[in-house]
């Protein structure tokens, strides 16, 4: 599948009206669907139902904004749980992974995001995992509970979005957690997300194509803490190779 680059998309400017409409759709769905999800959880008290609603709305967001998302490699997955380790090119990565990766997954996010009044309430309702760099053991405890509940976790090992699309250095945290929990790591490659939602575009979404590639899970059962750097490098090399395939 050929996914357009940011340069090729910007070479054919999107009509301003469509860009404005897509921006309204994104911001409107982000807050209204988040509010609905919170109400649903308080009424139904079932995060699985709330999560299914959120996944459906993420797919609706892509369709309404003219983004076609294709995912391949799902045949590589078993029942899990896993730690999914995707590259991070834009905010649209989150919507694409939420909507199209199978299962009731949870995202790990910076603890500071949970301090925001609206967003923080949505994150807590959806069972997201706050990452406190000063207290990583707290996140490990929550991840362990997710493992017991058979939920997978999505952690961006770069820690932030890439400015130019190239892979940043990977943090050690996701791989230490995977080894500690004995949960396989699945490298995931997001292609085209930077083109449909360019950095600095004021949350504008451009119509286009996005591809999510699920690579082979990496078993960690025989690994120890000393293998964390090797595991980190292995995941990064596989993602980099797929990005340039």
Write the pLDDT tens digit of every residue in 23-73.
777 766 766 776 777 777 677 767 778 778 888 988 998 998 899 999 999
Per-residue pLDDT for 145 more than 90? no
Q: Which residue has the higher pLDDT, 44 or 223?
A: 223
Question: Phi and psi at residue 135, in whole multiples of 5°?
Answer: -145, 70
Q: Are 107 and 76 in contact (CB under 8 A)?
A: no
The model carries a pTM of: 0.83
Q: What is the pLDDT of residue 133?
A: 62
Per-residue pLDDT for 96 more than 70? yes
Q: What is the pLDDT of residue 85?
A: 96
State the CATH class of domain 6-243. Answer: alpha beta
Mean pLDDT of the chain: 82
Long-range contacts of 2-10 (CB under 8 A, 24+ apart): 2/209, 3/191, 3/192, 3/195, 3/208, 3/209, 3/210, 3/211, 4/192, 4/195, 4/208, 4/209, 5/195, 6/165, 6/194, 6/195, 6/198, 8/195, 9/195, 9/196, 9/206, 9/208, 10/198
Domain segments of the chain: what residues?
6-243
Q: How far apart are CA 71 and CA 96, in angstroms?
A: 9
Per-residue pLDDT for 4 more than 80? no
Mean pLDDT, rounded, for 218-236? 96
Q: Which residue has the higher pLDDT, 205 or 135?
A: 205
Q: What is the pLDDT of residue 101?
A: 94
Per-residue pLDDT for 14 more than 60? no
Q: What is the pLDDT of residue 80?
A: 85
What are 4's two structure tokens?
Answer: 């357009």
DSSP code at position 113: G
Write the pLDDT tens digit of every residue in 159-173.
888 888 789 999 998
Angle formed by the axes of helices 16-44 and 117-125, to 10°?
Answer: 50
Mean pLDDT, rounded, for 4-8? 47
> pLDDT-derived band of residue 6, with 50, 70 and 90 as boundaries?
very low
- Continuous H helices in the chain: 6-11, 16-44, 47-64, 92-100, 117-125, 136-148, 173-181, 193-196, 228-243
Q: What is the pLDDT of residue 12?
A: 44
Q: What is the greatest pairwise CA distance in the chain? A: 55
């Amino acid at each position: 599948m050929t996914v357009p680059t940011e340069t090729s998309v910007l070479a054919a400017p999107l009509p301003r009206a469509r860009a404005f409409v897509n921006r309204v759709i994104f911001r409107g769905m982000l807050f209204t669907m988040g509010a609905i999800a919170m109400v649903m959880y308080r009424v139904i008290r079932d995060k699985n139902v709330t999560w299914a609603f959120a996944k459906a709305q993420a797919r609706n967001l892509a369709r309404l904004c003219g983004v076609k998302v294709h995912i391949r490699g799902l045949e590589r997955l078993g029942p899990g749980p896993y730690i999914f380790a995707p590259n991070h090119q834009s905010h649209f990565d989150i919507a694409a992974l939420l909507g199209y990766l199978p299962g009731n997954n949870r995202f790990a996010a910076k603890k500071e995001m949970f301090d925001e009044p609206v967003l923080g309430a949505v994150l807590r309702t959806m069972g997201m995992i706050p990452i406190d760099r000063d207290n990583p053991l707290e996140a490990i405890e929550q991840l362990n509970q997710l493992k017991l509940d058979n939920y997978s976790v999505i952690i961006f090992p770069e820690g932030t979005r890439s400015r130019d699309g190239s892979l940043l250095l990977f943090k050690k945290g996701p791989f230490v957690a995977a080894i500690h929990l004995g949960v396989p790591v699945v490298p995931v490659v997001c292609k085209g997300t930077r083109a449909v939602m360019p950095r600095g575009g004021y949350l504008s979404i451009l119509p286009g194509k996005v591809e999510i590639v699920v690579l082979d899970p990496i078993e960690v059962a025989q690994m120890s803490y000393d293998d964390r750097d090797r595991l980190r490098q292995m995941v990064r090399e596989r993602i980099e190779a797929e990005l340039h395939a």
